[in-house]
Structure formats: C-alpha cells, structure tokens
A and B are shown apart, each in its own frame.
Chain A
Amino acid sequence: MPAMSENLMRQLQLLPDYLGSHLLITISALSLGIIVCLPTAIAVTRIKKLRWPVLSFASVMQTIPGIALLALMVPLLGQIGFVPALVALFLYSMLPILRNTVTGISEVDPSLIEAARGLGMTSNQMLWKVELPVALPIIIAGIRTSTVWVVGTATLSTAVGAKSLGNYIFSGLHIQNHTSVLVGCIAAALLAMILDSLIRLSEIAVTQRNAFKGGLAALGLIIVLFGGLSSYAFKFDSSESRPIISIGAKTFTEQYILSDLMATMLKDAGFNIDTRSSMGSTILFDALKNGEVDCYIDYSGTIWANHMKRSDTKSADIVLQEMTDWLKEKHGVLCLGAIGFENTYALAVKKGLAKSLELESIADLSKHSPNLLIGSDYEFFSRPEWFAIRDNYNLNFDETVSMDHALMYAAIDANRIDVVTAYSTDGRIAAHDLVILRDPKQALPPYDAVLLLSPQAAENKNLIKALMPIIGSINNQLMQQANMMVDIDKEPTQKAANYLAENIIE
C-alpha cells in the first residue's frame, strides 16, 4: 500500500502540467467551435442551400476517429503540439453545436414566427428576441455534448505532441501503471462533468434570469480556468530565460526511460528541458525534421524501412552508415551515433513449446506454422519486415492477431497465441520464460538504437557534448535490465533512467 500511494503522489505531481495543457486545448477548441458554429448555423437556417454541405462536412469530421483526425493534422499543418490538437478538436466539436443550433432554430413553433412578423419585428429582432431564446435549451444541449466529447478526445492530443491528461493514459497503458491510467481517466471525467455542470448552470441562470446562479457559474468557470491554467502560465514565464530543449519519446517503456535519461543529463548540463512523450512514431520523426522536437531515440531499421522505404536487408554497419548519410542530406538531421543496444523485432515462443516442437530458429517454424497463432503490435503485420520473414521462411500461420504490445505477454501466458513478435530488449522475454528464435537468413533488418538530433540541435555544441556519453554506452543486457525494472518490478521510469546513468559512467 505505501508503494501505491507513493505512485499516486508521483502521478499527482504531474497533474498541474497535464491538466493545464488539457484545459487550454479544450477551452480553446470549444470557444473556437462556438464562435464559428453559431453564426454558421444561423446562416444555414437563413440560406437553405448551405444546410446539406455544412452539416455533411461536420458529420464527416465526426466519423473520422479522433486519433486519426489528430494525426492527419500534423502533416497538413506541418507542426506538432498545440496547433494541430486545437484544429482537430475544433473540427471534432462542430457537429453537435451546428446540428443542435440548426434544429433548434428551424423547429421554433411557426406560430411564434408568424406572431413575431405580425407584431413588426425585423428579421434580426426575430432572431435575437424569439428564435435564439426559444432554441436556447437545444443549442446549449449541443454545446454540452461537444464539451464532453472534446474533453474526452483531448486525451488523444498526447499522440501529436500536445501534453494532456492523455499522457497519464498513454504511458500508463504502455508501462502497465494502472494508477497512472486511472488518474488520467478520473481527471478527464471530472473535468468533463465540471464543465458540463457549469454550462448547465449558466443556462438556468439565463432562462430564469437568476443573477445569483449566473454569478455562481461565472465564478466556477473563473476558478476552473485560473486553477487549471495558472501553473501552466507560470511555467511559461519562468522558463523564458534559458533555451528549452524538447525531448521526444514514442509509446513504449524503453523510450520513456531513455527520454528520462536524456532529460537528466541535459538538466545536469544546465539546459531547460521539455519532454514530449507518447508520440506516434512518424509524427515524432516529422517533428524532429522541422525542429519542434530536438532529440529522440529511433532505430536504424525503422528509418530504413519506413522513411527511406528500403526493403532490402544489409548488414548493421552498412544500414547505419547509409541511414546517417541519408538523414543528413535529405533532412539535415544529425545521427549522433548508435547507443549500443539493438531492439529488433524477434519471434519468441514459450520454452515448453520450443522444446516440444524442437524450435531453434525461425526456419523451424515453417512446417508448424499452419497450426499456430502469431500475435504482434498494431503495425508489425503491415511492415516490410513481416513480409520479409514470412516469405523468406515460408511462414503460413493459422491466424495473425494484432494487439497492444503490452498485452502480448499476457496473451501468450494464457496460451491464446503461440508466437509473439517481441522487442529484443524487452525485459519481459526472460520474465515470461520465452525464447527468441534465431534469424539465420538475416531477414529482419538491424534495429540499432540511434540518437537523432534536429537540424537546429545539430548546431548546438553544448547539447552534443552533454548527450555524447550515451553513445555506445548501453548494451542489450543493460537496456533489458532497465526495461525489466519498469515492466516487471513496476519501478518509475526515472529510477530506471538513474540506473542507466550510473552504469554509463564507467
């Protein structure tokens, strides 16, 4: 129990930062949504021709999954962080506000419209004195729906590099820290409920013309805004004196540990740092290219296959050299060097199964594969590496199952799948009693961990000096140990980073 509360305290320390950013994105997107959608909806009720195109556009935006809409904004807007999150969430907020306002106004009792005209109201007076007030409850209902959706969907903006309560959820899911996931979910739910109630209270205040309730709603809103944003605004102020180095991380344990390690090293060297974790892989690379992220750890095989679009397999040295040259020439990105460990995809099976089927290498799998199930993360089965090993070793599995990386081990434990595509540095390979099958044909490209710097950061001599100790200093065993500390022993990632730091300095 003390461990639990310690964990909780650690999570809550992050709350001002995450909540502030979450609130800022949410409120901005909703305000923009209301400012744009109310006049648009009114125009739609006046010009019938607009109705179909406007509502269809908003509906289409709504059908795009939140995470995809957010991710699409990154290449479209050419940047990461607040702006793409704001635009995506704004698009997401539109439909309920538009549809409810249009419905509310067009369903005002025709006898009221006739009365208003008959009494001599102009079209404008009709709108402000009759149509909008009568439609108000329906319009407010739309805004409330939007609010709840946007607060929820804003958790996904973590993936495009904007901090949010989603940071708790993403990292918590990946390193199996359930406290973190719960803190994120509860904070988001509470925020949604509070904002929803405040809007409802404002509506009651308006319709009942109750100044007390109106004041209460305004006070509540001010408290939420100032409470949420103050720590955030304060942070901006204090950091202006020193340049901020932005460290990126993808969504798995090793990445969280290494970003914490780099953060520690840079802080010690006097840099002011900002960590952007749980980012999508290609989003992170794009962010590095245009300098929104200064440094992160990637893998040679990932750059080779995903960005250089190479499907041939070369030795590790050649891949590293060609990749370094390509990054420099094509994007001005500096590859500072290999960290020392390799985190390749590897096919692993339970020891018992390996023994009974006499499996040593992937080649041994080919005759058994029609009776086996293979599980992997979301991307593997659409990656060139999969096609390479499948075709090289003539694999024909009964079924391929995609799931969250963190769940694969539980699945093979429960015998729901027989083969997993593990990451070779994963501490859970040993912990779950799995064996890695050799790749004698070298069908899988090498996945040397490399430290990449953005074009701007590449000019920063002090930065390079501060990060240089990482290069060539962490071998597979060390990385596996650090991963195990987090995945198996449930230690915080910072502790694993400290462990690495102690072992680097030799």
Chain B
Amino acid sequence: MIELQKVTKSYGSSHSEAVKDISLKVAEGELLALLGESGCGKTTTLKMINRLIEPTSGTISVKGKDITSLDPVTLRRQIGYVFQGIGLFPHMTIAENISIVPELLNWEKDKIRERTAELLALVGLEASQYKNRKPAELSGGQKQRVGVARALAAGSKIMLMDEPFGALDPITRNELQQEFSKLRQELKLTVVLVTHDIMEALLLADRIAVMQKGRLVAVGTPHEMMSLKDDPYVSSLMQTPRSQFEKLDQLLDRKDAGHE
C-alpha cells in the first residue's frame, strides 16, 4: 500500500541528514509504528508520505503510484492525517471541522451532513449534542476523537498519525487507543503511526520500525522486537517495557501473597 525506497531527506548542507536511506513497506490493512526518540526522523518520514515534506532522494509510492506524479493537494485529500496538536479550527463548529475535506471535494450538502453524523457516531460522540459546538467547548479526548473523524471524513483508507494520543491523560489515552484499534480493524485502515511511546507501539502496531538518528535500525512484529537481542539499541529500548512488566508482576505477586 505504501512503499518507501532509499528515501533520504537532508536540510541545507548534505551533512545534516534528518532521514537517511530508509526503505519500508506497509501492507494494506496494516498498522506500522515508527518508533524512536524525538529528533530521530520519524515525523519527517511520515510527512514525506503525504508530501508535507519533499524527500531529497529516493522514491515513495502510495497504492502503487509514485507520489511525485500526483498533485500534493489531491494526494493529501486521499490520506487521513491526525497529529498531536489536533489542529481543530477554532472558528468552525465540530460539524464544519469534520466536513472540511468533503467540502474541498465538493460533496453535496446532504451527503456531507449524513457523513458527519455517521462519523461522530463512529468516534463515540452524540451528533445532535456535539455538531454545533466549537472546539473550545470540548475536552482533550473529545477533540482528538473529532480529529480522527475529520481524518476519516472523505473515506480515505490510509491514515498518517503523528503522536495522536500523546497529549492525553493516561485513562483517556488508553480508552482512545482501544477504540481506535477496533475502529481501524473494522474499517480496514492502513495506518502509519509515529510514536515515542514503546508501550503504545507494542500494543497497537502490527509491525514496529525503530529509527535512530535518521536511520532505520530494525523492523518487525512486537513479538520479534521483544525477543530481538543482537541490536543493542533495540534491546535497550525494550528494556523499559520489560522492566515495567517485571515490576508489575512483582506488584501483582505481592498482592496475591498478601491475600494468602
């Protein structure tokens, strides 16, 4: 569905390469997590897929087509995009925010209205209650639901997500992650998710691509990542969830012991 071949992005002098020689494939219906520390090039990689950033070299294709052959605006309207800042437009109502892309695509008014109600229901917001509100009246979790609805509005099957749940409190984050996981399986979405949260990557992704200093270090399923021993960076990354699991186990054990 999405394929990157030897993609490099450098800024100014060729010495500062944000992304170096990345090749990746994302299959249809797959959720690929791009995992790494901040500044590792994961967001740059994501933004090259919908041409918010143009690569210095290499090719990217979406649905088998080289994206440089497509008009960037048309391309972006076909790809859902959700990011941490959400970017709901404060002067528009919730319904208007969701219907932006359908309107850009000149859908009929009735169809847009129907679609908006359908999407609000899909992300768990009561349409009659929320459609005429302004973003400022919503909680962080509700805003992000609207952000997801907006990205899905035109029926695109591909979603790019940049730290979408990063700014939410742990309970809301967990709830949204679960719901999103269900949603994307129902809709058979192909998703590229950028995150620095190892747990999020492990829980949501079909495959994880680990990046470090602009390079792709390893790609594999969550299971493969946990058992990968030969790459020191990846195994040090996985050390964090591992020790968290161990700590949790201990806590649970001790609690059980107390009952006995």
Contacts and interface: CB of A to CB of B under 8 A. Distances in A.
A134 B87 CA distance: 12
Interface string B166-179: 00000000000000
B73 A118 contact: no
Contacts of B81: 115, 118-119
Interface stretch (A15-23, A120-128, A149-157): A120-128
A116 B100 CA distance: 9
A196 to B, nearest CB: 23
Contacts of B90: 112, 134
Contacts of B73: 120-122
Contacts of B100: 119, 121, 129
B83 A118 contact: yes
Contact of B87 (A111, A129, A133, A207): A111
A117 interface: yes
Contacts of B87: 109, 111-112, 114-116, 118
Secondary structure at chain A's binding surface: helix, strand, loop or mixed?
A: helix
Contacts of A114: 52, 83, 85, 87
Contacts of A27: none
A134 to B, nearest CB: 6
A117 B91 contact: no
B77 A111 contact: no
Contacts of B78: 120
Given A112-B89, A114-B87, A118-B81, 9 more contacts: A111-B86, A111-B87, A112-B90, A115-B83, A115-B87, A117-B76, A118-B87, A119-B150, A134-B91
Contact of B52 (A118, A122, A125, A130): A118
B60 interface: no
5 contacts: A111-B85, A118-B52, A118-B83, A118-B160, A119-B81
B74 interface: yes
Contacts of A207: 91
B94 interface: no
B76 A120 contact: yes
A112 B87 CA distance: 5
A129 B96 CA distance: 11
Interface in A91-135: 109, 111-112, 114-122, 125, 129-130, 133-134
Size bracket, chain B contacts: 20 to 34
Interface string B34-77: 00000000000000001010000000000000000000011111
A119 B105 CA distance: 11
Nearest to B81: A118
Given A114-B52, A133-B91, A207-B91, A121 B86 contact: no
Contacts of B83: 111, 114-115, 118
A119 B163 CA distance: 17
Contacts of A120: 73-78, 101, 104
A134 B90 CA distance: 7
B86 A115 contact: yes
A481 B234 CA distance: 105
A390 to B, nearest CB: 67
B135 to A, nearest CB: 11
Contacts of B89: 112, 115-116, 129-130, 133-134
Contacts of A136: 91
A119 B76 contact: yes
Contacts of B104: 119-121, 125
A133 B92 CA distance: 9
A12 B260 CA distance: 99
B85 A115 contact: yes
B240 to A, nearest CB: 29
Contacts of A119: 76-77, 81, 100-101, 104, 150
Contacts of A121: 73, 100, 104
A122 B75 CA distance: 12
Contacts of A133: 89, 91
A109 to B, nearest CB: 8
Contacts of A116: 87, 89
Contacts of A112: 87, 89-90
A117 B52 contact: yes
Nearest to B50: A118
B140 to A, nearest CB: 14
Contacts of A134: 89-91
Interface in A326-374: none
Nearest to A121: B104
Nearest to B151: A119
B73 to A, nearest CB: 5
Nearest to A132: B91
Nearest to B160: A118
Interface in B99-144: 100-101, 104
Contacts of A130: 89
A120 B71 CA distance: 10
B165 to A, nearest CB: 16
A111 B167 CA distance: 14
Interface in A232-286: none
B164 to A, nearest CB: 12
Contacts of A115: 81, 83, 85-89
A111 B160 CA distance: 15
A48 to B, nearest CB: 18
Nearest to B103: A129
Interface in A433-481: none
B110 to A, nearest CB: 20
Contacts of B74: 120
Nearest to B101: A119
A129 B99 CA distance: 13
A473 B83 CA distance: 89
Nearest to A122: B73
